[in-house]
Amino acid sequence: MGLVEQEVSAEASFVAPDRCVLVVVDVQNDYCHDEGTFGRAGVELIAIQHAVDRIVRFVDVARGARVPVVWLRTEHDGWTNSPAWLTRDVRTRAEICAAGSWGAEFFQVRPRPDECVITKHRYSAFVGSRLPVVLRTLGRPTLLVAGITTNVCVESTARDAFMRDYQVVLVEDCAAARTKSEHDGAVHNVRTYFGRVLDSAAVAARWAAASAA
């Protein structure tokens, strides 16, 4: 077996469906809907909304491959908005994903009753949430990470997953940021330092091949 064939075989093993968990980050109205906080602030949402369309399709593929789907959502309120936290993000001063608000609701995705939904209060879902316990319970070593935005909550969660010895895959076409340069920078960081980068079609093909085998 040549070097290229060995790399393809290793990658296929890496994303075997019985090794994977799909983590979907912050597909919420305030980030994705035209009337949400980003939209009202003038953020161009075409790339984000296209990524959501691909997330919807990829989640169905994951379900068909029996890959667990874990949904992350951001919520903020007076109990978690520390003075340091409130100094973040000079481009969007408005409240975002306030607890119990329409803006915090999911955008065009619908978790199933048997899927895990985890609320987080910081960029990384490993900070102050039950995600670490859920992942230990699932006992799967590879985390496929998708969602919004690539360079903030997606990358932060991917970095922290790598630091906890998970094998990380960024599903590139199922993630987006406010600008292409921010998305591309996050993709570079993950690919270079924290894991692998694949698109949803490549992952789906490997899952289909595993099922056929």
Strand 196-198 and strand 167-176: pairing?
Answer: parallel
Decide if 3 is inside a domain: no
Q: Is 110 exposed, middle or buried (0-12, 13-18, 19+ CB in 10 A)?
A: exposed
Give the pair of three-digit tokens for residue 151. Answer: 């360079």
* Mean pLDDT for all residues in the chain: 91
Q: Active-site residue among 26, 32, 97, 174?
A: 26
Say whether the peptide bond before residue 149 is cis (omega within 30 degrees of 0): yes
What's the pLDDT score for residue 185?
98
| CATH code where residue 107 lies | 3.40.50.850
Average pLDDT of the residues in 35-53: 96
> Catalytic: 20?
no
3-state helix, strand, coil in the chain (%, to 5): 45, 20, 35
Residue 32 lies in a domain: yes
pLDDT per position as a tens digit, 99-156? 999 999 999 999 999 999 999 999 999 999 999 999 999 999 999 999 999 999 999 9
- Look at residue 1 and tell me if it is in a domain: no
* CA 209 and chain centroid, separation: 24
Query: What is the token pair recorded at 205?
Result: 């093909």
Domain that holds residue 36: 16-212
Task: Decide if 82 contacts 34 (C-beta within 8 A).
Answer: no
In the structure, what pLDDT confidence band is assigned to residue 6 with cuts at 50, 70 and 90? very low
Q: Is the pLDDT of residue 51 over 70?
A: yes
CB atoms within 10 A of CB 114: 7
Q: Is 26 a catalytic residue?
A: yes
Of 20, 32, 116, 153, which one is the catalytic site residue?
A: 153
Which H/E stretch holds residue 202?
Answer: helix 200-212
User: 10 Å Cβ neighbour count for 93?
Assistant: 10
Number of compact structural domains in the chain: 1
- CA of 104: how far to CAs of 24, 26, 32, 72, in Å? 15, 9, 11, 11
Residues 119, 125 contacting (CB under 8 angstroms): no
Q: Tell me which residue of 24, 56, 72, 54 sits closest to 173, measured CA to CA.
A: 54
* 182 in any annotated domain: yes
- DSSP letters, 79-90, are TT--TTGGG--T
Q: Tell me, rounded to whole angstroms, the distance of Cα 143 from its chain centroid.
A: 9
Residue 63 lies in a domain: yes
In a domain, 122, yes or no: yes
In the set 20, 32, 120, 160, the catalytic residue is 120
Task: Specify if 6 maps to a domain.
Answer: no
